[in-house]
Amino acid sequence: MQSRHFHGFPVRTECDSLLDLFFTQVMPQILDATELKVTMSLFYLLSHKPNHPPFVTYEELLSRTTAMPGVDGSSLRHALDSAVNRGSILRVNLNIGGQLVEAYFANIESDREAISDIERSGVSTGKEGTGQALQRSNIFALYEQNIGIITPMIAEELKEAEKLYPAQWIEEALKEAVVLNKRSWKYVARILERWASEGKDSGEYRQGVKKGSPDKYVKGKYGRLVKR
């Protein structure tokens, strides 16, 4: 069977429709089992991403090769290249926090538009630039890579934390929790509360912190998450 390049899913493609189109138009063209495994794993991860536009990094996929029998670093790279060439997924180098990150998107209309916006803003291909959506995605990616799967409730917690604390604080609190092997949002939230009330590094009180009660995680809407 001769393989044809896929030009992308149409406008307003929902998840169920995307899967229908994938199974009927794309999958019959995929002859390599590794490419199929990697593509399906990528779509699975994308469906659980709370950020918009959702994307999966190469490092995330590499960390999941243990869940894909027969896939290692070399075959993962080959499979991703094949899927990109086929047109089922899109690849963009993003500049997040000063580091280049290889990111993969679904080839749908909304993501194509988002990638165009990202490229115009200079956040991709190593150029200088930042973006709130990408900064948020970086925090979400750090959480998933180091703490665990982001549930809708945890996603709300991360968004609430961003309103109170600088993004750098959240990133550093996540890293500190990992170093201390305290991999839970409860512990990360308490680190942030301590920094907000006692000062961080230089001892300056609440530097860069927006107004808001530092104990809202204990007494607020999502307090039960912290107490569990």
In a domain, 42, yes or no: yes
In a domain, 134, yes or no: no
Q: Bigger pLDDT: 124 or 60?
A: 60
Give a yes or no: residue 153 inside a domain: yes
Supply the range of the domain harboring residue 48: 1-129
Q: How confident is the model at residue 81 (pLDDT cuts 50, 70, 90)?
A: very high
* Pair 14, 91 in one domain: yes
Q: Are residues 107 and 176 in the same domain?
A: no
Mean pLDDT of the chain: 74
Task: Specify if 109 maps to a domain.
Answer: yes
The answer to whether residue 214 scores a pLDDT higher than 80 is no
Mean pLDDT of the 109-117 span: 77
Q: What per-residue confidence (pLDDT) applies to 124?
A: 53
Interatomic CA distance for residues 141 and 50, integer angstroms: 10
Higher per-residue confidence, 11 vs 53: 53
Same-domain pairing of 125 and 162: no
pLDDT value, residue 129? 39
pLDDT at 53: 74
The residue assigned the tokens 């990360």 is: 188
User: What is the average per-residue pLDDT within 147-166?
Assistant: 80
For residues 154 and 52, state if they share a domain: no
- pLDDT tens per residue across span 33-64: 999 999 999 988 888 887 667 889 999 898 88
Give 69's DSSP letter: T
In this structure, are 78 and 4 located in the same domain?
yes
123 & 155 share domain: no
The CATH number linked to 100 is 1.10.10.10
For residues 120 and 151, state if they share a domain: no
In a shared domain, residues 104 and 21 = yes
Is 136 within the bounds of a domain? no
Question: Does residue 105 share a domain with residue 15?
Answer: yes
pLDDT score for 80:
94
Residue type present at position 90: L
d(CA 191, CA 146): 16
Residue 43 lies in a domain: yes
139 within a domain of the structure (yes/no) = no
Number of independent structural domains in the chain:
2
Residues 207 and 104 in one domain: no
Decide if 95 is inside a domain.
Answer: yes
